[in-house]
Structure 1
Amino acid sequence: MADARWIYDLTIFLYAASVLFYFNDFLQSNRKVNRLAFGLLAVVWALQTAFFVSQMAEKAYFPVITLFETLFFYSWVLVTLSLVINYFFRIDLLVFFTNVIGFVVLVLSMFLPETPLNAVSGPLTSELLLVHITLAMFSYGAFSLSMVFSAMYLLQHNMLKAKRWTPMLRRLPSLDVLEGYAYRMNMLGVPMLLLAILVGIIWGKLVLPEKFWLDAKVVWSLVVLGVYSFGLYKRYSDTWQMRSLALFNLASFGLVLINFLATDFSKFHNWL
């Protein structure tokens, strides 16, 4: 791991530079700075991918088990999704806001050990568990982007209401487009989280005690799934205004963060 540490350190440095350039572009709408920030972000993705591959080569399992590995993978998911969406739809502010989250997540991983205290083996490295975690991380990534779209919706809504005709307002897609993107991200996130839970249940039936249903993490995951499913239902039934849906989406993402980070209450989801 020491041989690949320089990749991780360089990733942190370039990621910080990219976010700072995006922040400058956010304030001044500088297209040259924006292109530089995007280029640095592409390099960050390549370095993250290289570091992740080096971990797979060094370790005897797909590296999404420990908290360090999961935070790193979550950051990689956010960078990947933001680059892909920006390639097709050119929403610069989405890339900025999303990668503020991704950078914070990556910085948090700096304070954690890169390898587990004990060797990871046995049922923890089963294919079912790895599929379960990977699906969950991609669902969290989709929910993160949905939250960003909702935040951008509320930002534009407030600017229009206050009649603040700033250059940033012209860079935002329309309210209908932002709400539609948030809805589509949730449409991706909900089935992925459902699949993650189902795969986790199958794994739990094989290796965990019968009472694993009562575990706090399992219950909270079902709550998150139910809340986002309820939001999709309210959007489909057209009984809430779009602003109310955006506010509900922000609150729902708070539940995702709690579910992701608050693992101390779980008996078998504690990070190694």
Structure 2
Amino acid sequence: MVDPLWMRLPELVIVIYALSILLYFIDFVDHNRKAHSLAFRLLLIVWVLQTIFLFMYMLYTGRFPVLTLFEGLYFYTWVLISISLILHHIFKVDFTLFFTNLIGFIFMAIHAFAPVQLSSVSAEQLISELMLIHITMAILSYGAFSVSFVFSSLYLLQFKLLKEKRWQKKLWRLPDLAKLEKASFILNAIGVPMLLLSLILGLRWAIIKLPIFHWYDPKIIGSFLLLVIYGFLLYGHAKRFLFGRNLALWNTVAFLFVLINFFLISSLSSFHFWYS
């Protein structure tokens, strides 16, 4: 079967995405406002092209594109770009776009060189709103955690520059530490309930649809552990025994577990067979 021409669209997207990241890096190093402006415009083009591809893919497959790892990676990068553009409009943080989309570009590159996957699950199994909402909400929560990680990274950078009294241009382009900590907290506060709802819906679907369901599946354990980790970060921040640099460090470690859960643990799961 020959792929339609629009299936080559991600290859064009990744080239434009790479140029955008390169220009953002130039701006990061040399405070080049022209490079920043052009990078932002290219990023908008990337978002528009990605959105077009998502709609075309939905029309082609007749469903929402989140049921394979190939589809999930693409949707995840689209979520990251969307969140970064929204937060840039709200917080006006220059480096948010650069660091967030650096993560997005890495995943986009993985997607671009991965073989196209069509779900091996039967149509009857896939036609379930519970499943679609479960996967979509999980990816959205991962997107929120990813951008929260970016804000924590910027917090650590700002903290380091202030501690070393290095009064560079980068320092003045970063918001104050309190604003970075608040933004990170808000994103985690959004991501945790979304992940919780995703797990509830996923378990409900599994109990109804799967003939054999194991509660000790690695993916289930890993996802609930991830929920506990981020729940603990929210609780620690609310009770003020975890804040500032320590909170930023723990939030960075938590994001590493997001990556482990998404890639490594998913590959060990018998429950999430559509990602294999």
Is TM > 0.5 for Structure 1 vs Structure 2?
Answer: yes
Residue 91 of structure 1 and its aligned partner are, at CA, apart by 1.0
For 1:155, the aligned partner's letter is L
Residue 59 of structure 2 is aligned to residue 57 of structure 1: yes
Residue 269 of structure 2 is aligned to residue 269 of structure 1: no
The alignment of Structure 1 onto Structure 2 pairs a total of residues equal to: 272
Residue 207 of structure 1 and its aligned partner are, at CA, apart by 1.0
1:69-218 mapped onto 2 (5 Å cutoff): 69-116=71-118, 118=120, 121-209=123-211, 211-218=213-220
Q: Find the aligned partners of 1:202 and 1:213 in 2 and give their Cα distance.
A: 12
For 2:208, the aligned partner's letter is L
The partner residue of 1:230 within 229, 232, 238 is 232
Q: Name structure 2 gaps, 5 residues minimum.
A: none
Report SS of the residue matched to 1:264.
helix
1:243-258 mapped onto 2 (5 Å cutoff): 243-258=245-260
Instruction: Give a deviation string over 1:109-167, Cα, whole Å, max 9, x none.
Output: 12222232747522134211110010001100000011000000001101111111100
For 1:99, the aligned partner's letter is N
- Aligned-residue Cα RMSD (Å) equals 1.3
The partner residue of 1:220 within 219, 222, 237 is 222
The residue that corresponds to 1:28 in the other structure is 30
Q: Name structure 1 gaps, 5 residues minimum.
A: none
For 2:263, the aligned partner's letter is L
Instruction: Give a deviation string over 1:25-66, Cα, whole Å, max 9, x none.
Output: 000111111110000000000000001111001003211111
Q: Find the aligned partners of 1:125 and 1:82 in 2 and give their Cα distance.
A: 31
Q: Find the aligned partners of 2:76 and 2:120 in 1 and give their Cα distance.
A: 23
Residue 210 of structure 1 and its aligned partner are, at CA, apart by 5.2
Q: Find the aligned partners of 1:137 and 1:117 in 2 and give their Cα distance.
A: 17
Report SS of the residue matched to 1:212.
coil
Report SS of the residue matched to 1:213.
coil
Q: Is the 8 A contact 1:74 1:137 kept in 2?
A: yes
Change (3 A) 1:37 1:120: farther
Q: Is the 8 A contact 2:233 2:242 kept in 1?
A: no
For 2:267, the aligned partner's letter is D
State which drifts further: 215-224 or 205-214: 205-214
